[in-house]
Structure 1
Amino acid sequence: MSPRNGSCMAEISSVRSLSSEDVSGAKGSRRKSCWARTTDPTHRRGRRIQLLQMLVLPFIPILALIVQTAITLHDILIYRQEVSDIETQVTIATDLGKVVTRMQLERSEVAFFIYTNGNTLRSNLTQRFAVTDRALHNMTTWPLVSVPRDETKTQKYDVVNKEAFQERLNDFREKISSEESSISEVMAWYTSVNAAMLDHLTNQIKETDNSGVWRYLISFKNLLRSIESLGIASVYGINYFGRGILTGDSYVSYVRHEALGRDLLNGSLTYVPSLKKFYDHLTLTMPDYGKIKSRRDDILENRKRQPSVDDAIAYFDSMATYVDELRKLQRELRRMIRDYVNSNLQDASNKEVAGIAIVVLVLVISPIIIILVRNAVATIQMYAANLAQKARELKREKRKSDTLLFQMLPPSVAQQLKQTQQVPAEYYEAVTVYFSDIVGFTEIAAETTPLEVVTFLNSIYKLFDARIECYDVYKVETIGDSYMVASGLPVKNGDKHVSEIATMALDLLAASTVFQVPRRPGERLQIRSGVHTGPVVAGIVGTKMPRYCLFGDTVNTASRMESTGEALRIHISLEMKKALDAVGGFRIEHRGLVDVKGKGLMDTYWLECKDGGIARAAELDLPSFFEDVRPVFMRRLREEDTL
């Protein structure tokens, strides 16, 4: 091991005075990162970011509610539009259905006119044509339908408008006569026109939608087609009673349209079960309903009979009455559809009003919520800033108290005492203990005032405390003029405690010579030093002002080395001498046997110096160093001119 050069540069393992920041670790001394500062509510930027976050936070559910309400309103508007479209479609279908009805009645009476060879007992065709024309005139819209080009070429169609259809209908009517017109031509023309109108009507009405009215719509369409099929069948029935028999094709057509009409009627009643009761009531109150069934059976048997205009009129009247009853059923269904659509429209309007009210309420409340949140955040930030300030003050005071505590106790022991409230005594196998006192201190104290003694001791110990900071030692205590230092505890340092105490003792001895004894001009301070090495037991003693004390024969021997020493000399034991010889680098002078109280004769030595020398205390800038050596209370007294 190379000898020390005596400089005050501490070795890597030297123990320095620690603050609370050192004990708690390096985390407390690190500076905050940029992100931590930006999110810290105690900083201005952090407060702005936090305020923005707190304002955005309640705005997210508000925005979600607005979006959800807007989507709901959009769906309601679409739903309402669909229901309105259904209402429009059903209205158009009703107007078109009236035209179809008038065309069906016109077809029946034209057929009756032809089958009965121009009989006009049942009705006047001119009046019937006028009724149909009025129905055509009352239509607000006219669909594009296809009608036969002429009576013979039924497979060719022209797409016409309302005026062209009226003109084409008038042309067809002028050619109707009992002799020249063929029943098949008349049936083909009217049936194709009605079929075209019904196809357009049923194609325009949706069979599925979101309103739930689709069952009524399907029932409505089936009822229209049922009336059309039954009307076509009635024409063939008039042919049977007016001519006496149905030919093959006519009979097949009657059966087909009769069966189709009944099936469509049953399907309509199935889709809207409430109509069945209404239909049963119609059949019960209809006087000739039983005759309709019997005549239908007669036609299905198709037995040849005598032509009878009266029977044809009776059949025509009964079927017209029956179809009129079915049209009552159609009007009832139309009323149900209207009520259902109106109910849906009212419900949609209520939902629309509620949605708009929610949006308006949210838009009105949102600024209030934002203002309240902003005020709350500002209040929280104010309290956070105050709390941060108090935390900094508390941390500063804690640092002061910890610094004071670590000056009274070893940092590791103090930390353990704070955490566990107790520190068990510990045995150390090798520790070096140093004692020193002032030669003639009793006489010096007797010659000076107490305040001068305190100032004198304070200046000496401040210098000593500053010098021992350069070494791996621990100041145990000072009692009067006695100064006790140990090395090797509480943190063990191997064999370094011997050289650390020896070098420190030489340094303190050299530094003490710069002091002048009070009221003794020209006399310098003289100290006695004693050092011994060996085992000790260390621990905390007491609960009021606890002290870290050393016990054992090593402490007593070191104290005896000091008391039996001489001024300006460092008295060491034989054990200390052997330890220094093992370390090397120190000059030692043999003193001889000394009678030590309680120990008897002991072979002791003088520690002279260290090879290479040490930093001299005279190198200190004494005037500046001692400018502030007086205790605080003394400076205050001097300021008050009490001294």
Structure 2
Amino acid sequence: MSPRSNSCIAESSSVRSLSSDEVSTSKSIKKKSRWARATDPAHRRGRRIQLLQMLVLPFIPILALIVQTANTLHDILIYRQEVSDIEAQVTIATDLGKVVTRMQLERSEVAFFIYTNGSQLRFNLTQRYATTDETLKNMTTWPLVTVPKDESKVHTYHVVNKEAFQARLDDFRQKISPEESTISEVMAWYTSVNAAMLDILTNQIKETDNSGVWRYLIAFKNLLRSIESLGIASVYGINYFGRGILLGDNYVSYVRHEALGRDLLNGSLTYVPSLKTLYAELTRTMPGYGRIKSRRDEILRNYRRQPSIDDAIVYFDSMTTYVEELRKLQRELRHMIRDHVNLTLQDASNKQAAGIAIVVLVLVISPIIIILVRNAVATIQMYASNLAQKARELKREKRKSDTLLFQMLPPSVAQQLKQTQQVPAEYYEAVTVYFSDIVGFTEIAAENTPLEIVTFLNSIYKLFDARIECYDVYKVETIGDSYMVASGLPVRNGDKHVSEIATMALDLLAASSVFQVPKRPGERLQIRSGAHTGPVVAGIVGTKMPRYCLFGDTVNTASRMESTGEALRIHISFEMKRALEAVGGFRIEHRGLVDVKGKGLMDTYWLECKDGGIARAAELDLPTFFEDVRPVFMRRLREDDAL
């Protein structure tokens, strides 16, 4: 028995061994328990039980894992969201705090301007206005702020956008004057606006016990309000040094805001003890801090003194410096909050990692479930593997058959034939047909054995087939020594068909000269070529070994061009000559009138060469190319003889 037969039998037995029907048939011979038959994957009931195992058994740990992971991740996400909200709240409050800071500084500048009865500092006040306006312009969001309609603070309204607030602020600035009658009203307006903004600013920050950052948030809010209260107190301090005394409500307001600012500052230092060290360093390095304390005591005593603009300027500068130092504390506290939030987020990440570790632990301690699932899947994989193998074999065989079909028929026609099982004949308006044959082939065939002739023709056609791959042409057929090629079908290529055939004909003529005629030493092969351009009808002929054939006078004329031609020359018709002239790039020689059978006298031409040579004619490695040009069946015959 041959190896091929053995492989076929082995393949057949392999298929049979995996067939569920035959497995069930062979197992039914033996006595088996009901449970064994029920769990046998070859039986329908067994397949259902295994399917149920695959669904139920993994579902138990997966469900537990999903519930546990979902709860853990839910808690972690809430935790992270709360911490992120704190960060966002403080960020928004910081941005709004910049506006409050600019309004505080503007209030101080306006107070200085009014309390000094209007001085040369108006230019600085204009700069302060511009700085405040720039800060307002850079705000990305605007809260709902309640501001007084006039300086009396009796009526208020809501400002819904920063443009409206800017307009109200500009209107208020125009009314500022150094008269005594407007001092309290102007200061009250600024204080009211700042208080409204500060309320919104501090309300942006919500204390929470979940993250442990509440101490920092309360300290941050107290510090903001402390700076505001001290800023208001400094306004009355400027009034004292500029006017010489604080009367009535002005003195009470100074004492109240000064005490409130100190209490809020001490509260911030108490909530965040690390700020005490920073504040102590601030008071130690700040120039003129002792003078601030002495001037505060002087204002609290409120003894009448000589008004002094210079003292007001010094007090104003020292309080501005002190407030700026407090703002440094505010920025440092902001960094502490950010660091604490980052640590909290890291803690959340650690908790998330712990949750993942629990999931891994559940998977590690579930080997029994994994083994059961693996056994169930292994059975399915056995059938799936066999099916995949057969699919690959089917695909490989289909590729072989398609390759063979595409060698016998044009790919587009073969694809259409496979899909519709019929290909109607099609008319082509312009096609170029080429014929060639071997000069003296009858004598050559008489001098050589049939096997030698087959070998000779195979070597020629092998070369020709390799060369025409470089061109947009289709090899129609070979009959004996006749070689037929066409261009422009089955896929139309416009006007390229005539230049493709002409270039190919020159290429094949040059390539054929490498062959030596068998048993004629020194004599080279000579071919006779002919081509014609015109319309044809092409279609599939036959059902057994179908062929793609061309019909029409164009085919006959191309054949006559070849038969009436000469050796080593390419004979073309007038129609092809005219088409080549339209394309350009070819040298053509007029032959004259030729008596063509069935056509009469025809004006024909010789195709000489192509300008610039044949670019697509690659150099052939002839020793390698002709290493073995014998047909396959001859090689097999000789191999069998050797055995």
1 or 2 for the larger relative contact order (CA 8 Å, sep ≥6)?
Answer: 1
- Choose 1 or 2 for highest CA Rg: 1
